[in-house]
Amino acid sequence: MSNATLLAPPPLAPGLTVASRRAPSPALGSLVPRAAPSCVQARQEFSSLEAWLSAPLTLQLPLHQIESQQEFRGRELHRLLLQTHVQQRGNGDVGPALRVTGPSTTFLYTHRRLQPRTLKTIFGPIHIDRMGYGRTGVASIHPLDEAMQLPARSFSYEFQKRMIKAAVQSPLLESTERMQELTGMSVPKRSLEQIIQEAAQDFDAFYAARLPAPWRQTASILVVAVDGKGIPMVKPGPAQRSARRTKGQKANRKKMATVAAVFTRAPWVRTPEQVVESLFRTDPSKGIEPGQCTPPRPEHKRVWASLVKGKAAVIDEVVQEVGRRDPENQKIHVALTDGERALQILVHDRLKVTLILDLLHVLEKIWKAAHVFHPEGSPEAELWARLACLRILEGNVCQVIKGLRQTVTKRKLFGAKRKTLLSVADYFHNNRDRMRYDQYLAQGLPIASGSVEGACKNLIKDRMERSGMRWTESMAEAILKLRAIYLSGDFDSYWAFHIIQDQRRLYPPGRWTVVVK
């Protein structure tokens, strides 16, 4: 009973006979301990809640106080009902002994005794008395645990699911506080960290076994994007405190995670002028012009990242995902990358795709060159960048490269200005074969990796780069996997898959049989 009761609980509601309090008759060899008392407590709790809601004092309370009390008392009612249900399922006494099959021989488990267990559920803790079968020196086997598909930990699967959903969205301390507010159950931070790492172990198996949408029912362009994003890591060894960091010393060290995104998209044919207008639009209220098609949205988008796997391993996973989505190689395959040559080589060697240099990275270089000639924020700098971007989109990247290099020579630039312009020109020259934007736009292909940039922000920055956050490698990898599942919209499907895999690990099929005397 909750201590929030304002009125004494009334007697049981009329119409409830003594027979109605009795639990169903158990099967032979099975006991139902204390089922009736829990059932009675549940009825009393319901009658008490019903009476409290109708009491004169309660009818004068504000509605928000009623909501709070009803939630608290209703949670206790649900806990008692669940406790009654568990007791009605018996204690798992399946016979006098079990024959357990080991790697090379079989053993008889003849020691029988009732063993208690507490399971923390979303309604509160429930107590389970189940028959344990054992032998000297080994852990007992509990058939009731297997029948009810209980986890190894003291938290129910549903409780774990909600904890993890909270943890992939918010810091761990906030997640534990939220769970305590919703369920009344406190969760140690260390336990939550262990649960998160255990929950992420079926990530690879889930996506390897999942069947994608039929390829004929998806859009004609299959887009791949790969990028890198740093994650702040815990420094090895004890932290060295100093009054002031030395030159070049960082507040934390980062380790690069490889981020990947795969999705399908319908073609979107545009002109260079339309792209420039969208990039340099100064009036946010000005939307798509009349008659212009709205941009197609990504379909069946999947994002993921890894800190411990190398770039080659992540790209191999991208290859497998592409093979599952387009087994007959009927779609147009496009890969968007930045200018990192090593990454481009890996993608080109493993994927037969059209490599496109991300226009957003090109735009960054254009602005750098513009600020060599004009002050930052000036209309002249914006005009220079706008014209240079238009020329590149029209397929004249070689002219832009030639113009930059000639400017350095004719103006006899030196120092930082010379270095900036030549580096921009070299960047464009090294990637000119991946900057045929006039052809890409005519075919309706994507030219900017907003998807992977958004994935870097949503997957990593918004969760893992908050103020003061530092990560161990194992925790960072687990959060990356679970947050990727959540952002891809696969969390519920993954959790059902994880429960099946966890049950197979805990209770291998055919491990034991009942010995009948």
Over residues 194-219, the pLDDT tens digits come to 999 999 999 999 999 988 778 778 89
Across the chain, what does the average pLDDT equal?
86
Separation CA 52–CA 45 (nearest Å) = 10
Residue 366 structure tokens: 């254009």
Residue 276 structure tokens: 């420039």
Report residue 296 CA to chain centroid gap.
Answer: 25
Specify the pLDDT at position 441: 96
Tell me the mean pLDDT in the region 150-156: 96
| Banded model confidence at residue 19, pLDDT cuts 50, 70, 90 | very low
Print burial letters for 108-130: b (CB count within 10 Å at least 16), e (below 16). ebeebeebeeebbbbbbebebbb
Least confident of 234-243, 346-355, 453-462: 234-243
Angle of helix 379-393 versus helix 272-279 axis, rounded to 10: 150
Residue 311 structure tokens: 């770039």
Specify the pLDDT at position 241: 58
What residues pair up with 334 in beta bridges, in sequence order? 223, 354
Amino acid at 124: G
pLDDT per position as a tens digit, 338-396: 877 888 888 888 888 899 999 989 999 999 999 999 999 999 999 999 999 999 999 99
Please check whether residue 470 is in contact with residue 252, taking contact to mean a CB–CB distance below 8 angstroms: yes
Print burial letters for 348-364: b (CB count within 10 Å at least 16), e (below 16). eeebebbbbbbbbbbbe
Please check whether residue 38 is in contact with residue 80, taking contact to mean a CB–CB distance below 8 angstroms: yes
475 three-state secondary structure: helix
Tell me the mean pLDDT in the region 67-80: 92
| pLDDT over 60 (residue 3) | no
What's the predicted TM-score (pTM) here?
Answer: 0.81
| Banded model confidence at residue 244, pLDDT cuts 50, 70, 90 | low
Specify the pLDDT at position 11: 36
Separation CA 317–CA 308 (nearest Å) = 14
What residues pair up with 254 in beta bridges, in sequence order? 232
What is the pairing mode between strands 221-233 and 332-337?
Answer: parallel
Specify the pLDDT at position 452: 66
Phi, psi dihedrals of residue 251, rounded to the nearest 5°: -70, -30
Whole-angstrom CA distances from 398 to 38, 428, 435 are 81, 8, 10
| pLDDT over 50 (residue 9) | no
Alpha helices in 119-246 (DSSP H): 143-147, 157-167, 172-183, 189-199, 203-209
Tell me the mean pLDDT in the region 237-258: 65
Residue 98 structure tokens: 């079990």
Closest alpha carbon to 221 in 282, 295, 315:
295
Residue 294 structure tokens: 């709205």
What is the pairing mode between strands 111-121 and 106-109?
Answer: unpaired
Phi, psi dihedrals of residue 265, rounded to the nearest 5°: -155, 145
Q: In what order do the strands lie in the sheet with 354-357?
A: 299-306, 253-265, 221-233, 332-337, 354-357
- The residues, ordered by sequence, that sit 6+ positions from 281 with a Cβ below 8 Å of its Cβ are none
| Banded model confidence at residue 1, pLDDT cuts 50, 70, 90 | very low
| Banded model confidence at residue 236, pLDDT cuts 50, 70, 90 | confident
272 three-state secondary structure: helix
Please check whether residue 4 is in contact with residue 73, taking contact to mean a CB–CB distance below 8 angstroms: yes
Torsion angle of alpha carbons 423, 429, 432, 435, nearest 10°?
20
Specify the pLDDT at position 352: 84
Specify the pLDDT at position 291: 55
Tell me the mean pLDDT in the region 263-284: 88
Residue corresponding to tokens 């009927």: 330
Residue 284 structure tokens: 């946010």
Least confident of 27-36, 120-129, 394-403: 27-36
Separation CA 450–CA 466 (nearest Å) = 22
| Banded model confidence at residue 237, pLDDT cuts 50, 70, 90 | low
Please check whether residue 71 is in contact with residue 78, taking contact to mean a CB–CB distance below 8 angstroms: no
Specify the pLDDT at position 391: 97
Tell me the mean pLDDT in the region 271-289: 76
Separation CA 54–CA 66 (nearest Å) = 11
517 three-state secondary structure: coil
Closest alpha carbon to 347 in 71, 498, 131, 339:
339
Specify the pLDDT at position 468: 82
Burial (CB count <10 Å: 0-12, 13-18, 19+), residue 486: buried
| pLDDT over 70 (residue 192) | yes
Specify the pLDDT at position 351: 85
Ranges of beta strands (E only) in 312-406 are 332-337, 354-357
Residue corresponding to tokens 């000297």: 136
Separation CA 74–CA 42 (nearest Å) = 10
Whole-angstrom CA distances from 203 to 145, 159, 320, 494, 503 are 25, 20, 14, 8, 16
Specify the pLDDT at position 16: 32
| pLDDT over 70 (residue 327) | yes
35 three-state secondary structure: helix
Specify the pLDDT at position 227: 85
| pLDDT over 80 (residue 517) | no
100 three-state secondary structure: strand
Residue corresponding to tokens 């197979």: 504
Report residue 211 CA to chain centroid gap.
Answer: 19
Amino acid at 180: Q
